Amino acid sequence: MGIVKRFPKSWRVDVIVLRNGGRDPKGNPRPDEQISLTDCLIGPRLMNDPVDHSDVSAAEVFLYRDPDPNFRFLTTDRVRVPAGARMSGDWSVDGRPKEWPIGVEVGLVGT
User: 26 pLDDT exceeds 70?
Assistant: yes
Q: 49 to each of 15, 56, 95, 106, 110, how far by Cα in Å?
A: 31, 10, 19, 20, 22
Determine the pLDDT at residue 76: 95
pLDDT in tens, 59-70: 589 999 999 999
CB of 21 closer than 8 Å to CB of 90: no
The pairing of strands 58-65 and 89-93 is unpaired
- pTM for the complete prediction? 0.82
Helix, strand, coil abundance in the chain, percent, nearest 5: 5, 45, 50
Residues 31 and 37: their CA atoms lie apart, in Å, by 19
